[in-house]
């Protein structure tokens, strides 16, 4: 009984002390002090050993989650990967590869890079990185990339299969250039095409040089493709837009609670101010891509073709911490020349992370009538055309995603990645011919002679057991053959230019842009 009294007294005392401390917590009114005080209490009183780094990271992530979706904390590894993705170079061996059937196949060897210097070739199968087997064991592709990459000057042994031979290559890693222009070539005698994959540090220089090259080839009109370009550096979007706009045209303006309005205007020195322009966008076009497209649209400088863009109108600024981590913090909103902020809604009941999936589910990507436009947020372009804010850039000409042409045969082949594996087999078959082709004229001649579509029909029946009727084959060939041509042509010296050149005939958005430019 005495013991019970003693314990009761101790509990009462503890409760009294808790109430005193609770009162202290409640009455302190200095910003952010509560969080610091609680962590200090945990540190001094918690029963077990603490993972302070983990708790700190968790607290930061939880705090930033109360802001917008693009204000994020990046631990050291993620920060490095994020910055490398937007850099103009990285450390590695200088190859591009894909994994069509559990074995990585080299698609491209970057000119002047470490792999080219030791003799790696397109079509080589990657078997091992140092002593780690990566072929035929379902090795994760991201892990494969991490093993191949490494500090400049370090060595790695890559073992490849080339025909019947197994060859180990010792490669000294070096600085590898990353390009943001995926492809640039002439679609016709007067229409050029540039596909921009991201806004990196070298984007303006690459695009400017690509456009100059196309101009020298007779380009009078340009299809500029930023579909699925998720953005990047703001300054590169400004420089790029400046190349196409007249002196004094507004490109974009920024404004935030702690950021005074900053207006960016064209300086008039751009050399492509008079070229006819069509800009292609999609639901994957975001941020810097939307700045560029919005500037072109609001100034009535060109025609925007495709589907509604992502809708990211928030500006992030990096802040770096001493442990090599950092945060990307939203500091302003950007506004197109007509004054619209195209940031889509977030917070509350908004399912921000699944917005793109919802567009598919709601039918928006298939029909312009299903697009959700904020009719209360109305703005006008320079000529008085209506445009809307609050959820991405709506194109001037909507081109729906077309899934009606995909036959059962085509779908079955896609599920087994038959086309990619067939392309690899065709490289093996025509390696001597493909490895020397460096012009579209020569590639046209090769493709006409090879008859890849008919070869594929026989190959996929033998390898994958997939067949179809003559009627289904006839309906499938028009959009299957460009894909096969593109995948095989990619193995030549023409690389990604060849892929896009031969793939575009099945691209309705490009076809519509050409039609509009030539009207």
Cα torsion 378, 382, 384, 387: sign: negative
Q: Is-catalytic flag, 309?
A: no
Cβ distance 198 to 86 under 8 Å?
A: yes
* Dist. CA 516–CA 277, nearest whole Å: 10
User: How many whole angstroms separate alpha carbon 315 and alpha carbon 327?
Assistant: 13
Of the residues 124, 249, 298, 396, which is catalytic?
A: 298
Please, which residues bridge with residue 105 across strands? 98, 125
SS3 breakdown of the chain: % helix, strand, coil, rounded to 5? 40, 20, 35
d(C-alpha 473, C-alpha 36), whole Å: 68
Kindly compute the dihedral angle of the four CA atoms of residues 509, 510, 512, 516, in this order, to the nearest 10 degrees. Answer: 130
DSSP code of 395?
A: P
CB contact set of 178 (below 8 Å; sequence gap of 6+): 87, 88, 89, 90, 200
Q: Are 224 and 194 a contacting pair, CB within 8 Å? A: yes
In degrees rounded to 5, what are phi and psi of residue 57? -60, -45
Active site residue 298: yes
Cα–Cα distance for residue pair 200/197, rounded to 1 Å: 9
Which of 198, 221, 312, 512 does the annotation list as catalytic?
312
CB neighbours of residue 440 within 10 Å: 17
Angle of helix 440-450 versus helix 495-503 axis, rounded to 10: 60
Comparing CA positions, the residue from 290, 325, 291 lying closest to residue 309 is 290
- HSE-CB at 33 with a 13 A cutoff on CA atoms is 8
Nearest-angstrom CA–CA distance, 192 and 277: 10
* Largest distance between two CA atoms of the chain: 102
Distance CA 393, CA 296 (A): 11
Q: Which of 287, 289, 309, 325 is catalytic?
A: 287
d(CA 329, CA 337): 24
Residue 260, CA distances (Å) to 239, 263, 331, 332 in order: 21, 10, 11, 9
Catalytic residue positions, numbered: 287, 298, 312
């Amino acid at each position: 009984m005495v013991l019970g009294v003693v314990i009761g007294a101790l509990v009462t005392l503890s409760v009294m002390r808790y109430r005193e401390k609770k009162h202290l917590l409640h009455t302190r009114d200095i910003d952010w002090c509560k969080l610091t005080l609680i962590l200090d209490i945990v540190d001094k009183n918690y029963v077990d050993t603490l993972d302070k780094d983990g708790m700190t990271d968790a607290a930061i992530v939880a705090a930033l989650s109360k802001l917008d979706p693009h204000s994020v904390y990046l631990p050291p590894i993620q920060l490095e990967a994020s910055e490398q993705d937007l850099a103009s170079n990285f450390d590695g061996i200088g190859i591009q590869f894909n994994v069509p059937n559990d074995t990585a196949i080299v698609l491209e060897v970057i000119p002047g890079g470490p792999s080219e210097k030791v003799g790696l070739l397109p079509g080589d199968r990657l078997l091992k990185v140092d002593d780690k087997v990566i072929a035929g064991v379902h090795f994760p592709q991201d892990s494969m990339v991490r093993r191949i990459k490494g500090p400049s000057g370090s060595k790695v042994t890559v073992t490849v299969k080339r025909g019947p031979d197994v060859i180990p290559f010792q490669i000294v890693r070096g600085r590898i250039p990353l390009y943001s222009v995926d492809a640039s070539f002439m679609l016709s005698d007067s229409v050029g095409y540039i596909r921009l994959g991201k806004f990196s540090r070298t984007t303006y220089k690459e695009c400017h040089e690509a456009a100059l090259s196309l101009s020298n080839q007779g380009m009078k009109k340009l299809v500029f493709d930023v579909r699925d370009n998720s953005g990047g550096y703001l300054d590169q979007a400004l420089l790029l837009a400046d190349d196409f706009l007249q002196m004094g045209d507004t490109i974009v303006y920024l404004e935030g609670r702690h950021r005074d309005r900053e207006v960016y205007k064209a300086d008039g020195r751009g050399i492509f101010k008079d070229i006819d322009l069509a800009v292609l966008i999609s639901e994957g076009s975001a941020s810097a891509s939307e700045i560029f497209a919005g500037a072109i649209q609001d100034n009535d400088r060109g025609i925007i073709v495709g589907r509604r863009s992502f809708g990211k109108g928030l500006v992030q600024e990096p802040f770096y911490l001493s442990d090599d981590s950092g945060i990307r913090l939203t500091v302003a909103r950007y506004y197109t020349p007509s004054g619209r902020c195209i940031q889509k809604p977030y917070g509350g009941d908004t399912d921000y992370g699944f917005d793109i999936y919802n567009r598919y589910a709601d039918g928006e990507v298939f029909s312009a009538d299903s697009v959700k436009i904020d009719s209360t947020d109305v703005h006008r372009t320079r000529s008085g055309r209506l445009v809307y804010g609050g959820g991405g850039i709506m194109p001037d000409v909507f081109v729906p995603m077309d899934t009606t042409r995909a036959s059962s045969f085509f779908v079955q082949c896609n599920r087994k990645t038959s086309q990619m594996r067939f392309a690899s087999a065709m490289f093996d078959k025509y390696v001597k011919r493909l490895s020397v082709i460096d012009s579209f004229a020569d590639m046209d001649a090769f493709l006409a002679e090879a008859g890849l579509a008919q070869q594929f029909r026989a190959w996929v029946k033998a390898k994958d057991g997939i067949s179809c009727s003559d009627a289904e084959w006839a309906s499938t060939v028009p959009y299957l053959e460009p894909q096969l041509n593109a995948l095989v042509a990619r193995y030549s010296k023409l690389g990604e230019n060849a892929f896009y050149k031969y793939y575009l005939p099945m691209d309705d958005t490009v076809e519509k842009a050409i039609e509009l430019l030539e009207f």
